[in-house]
Amino acid sequence: MEYFLILPDSKVSKPLKFTAKEKQFLDKKPFVVNIGKLSDMVVVDIILMKFLFNSYFLLSEGLEKIFQTYVENIDTTPILITDDKYKLNLVYYVVDIEATKDVVANKFLKLHDMQIREELVKGIPIHKIYYEKQTYILVNRYVVESILRRFPAGIQFQEVKAI
């Protein structure tokens, strides 16, 4: 089986960004974010929010539905993103997946050299893993194909070697 990391696409020049406090994510309650004046931002399907020790993945409605299809008990918290004049109303979901331990076989290498232990991820299509003090979402080929059928924006996939 082939496995991939879901990453925000670095080629998108002005992806949707906003600021929030980590406490809002830790409370696991829906909240509203006002991005201020609407500018020429690109609406993307995944937003990665990094804080000092934690990372949070925000998924668009379409991407969240795909995750719900593959993982039964996925914990999501909706966030409404709007602007000053309420012309923009987007719903994103903070996804909370329990991290799979000891998946990464090699440590301290570059991301494109990552190797995972296939016996620990086999049969489960979506994982949250830690590598080099960062958090990533690891998916199998079937999830990638489902995402690509919906023409995602702002997502790139990094193939991972399974041993």
Domain that holds residue 117: 3-162
What pLDDT digit, counting tens, does each position of 92-138 carry? Answer: 999 988 888 889 888 777 888 889 989 999 888 999 998 878 899 99
Counting the structural domains of the chain, the total is 1
Determine how β-strand 3-8 pairs with β-strand 55-60. unpaired
Cα–Cα distance measured from residue 96 to residue 14, given in angstroms and rounded to the nearest whole number? 26
12-44: pLDDT as tens digits = 888 888 888 888 888 889 999 988 776 778 889
| Predicted structure pTM score | 0.87
- Ordered DSSP codes for 55-107: EEEEEEHHHHHHHHHH-TT-EEEEEEEE-TTS--EEEEEEEE-PBPTT-BSS-
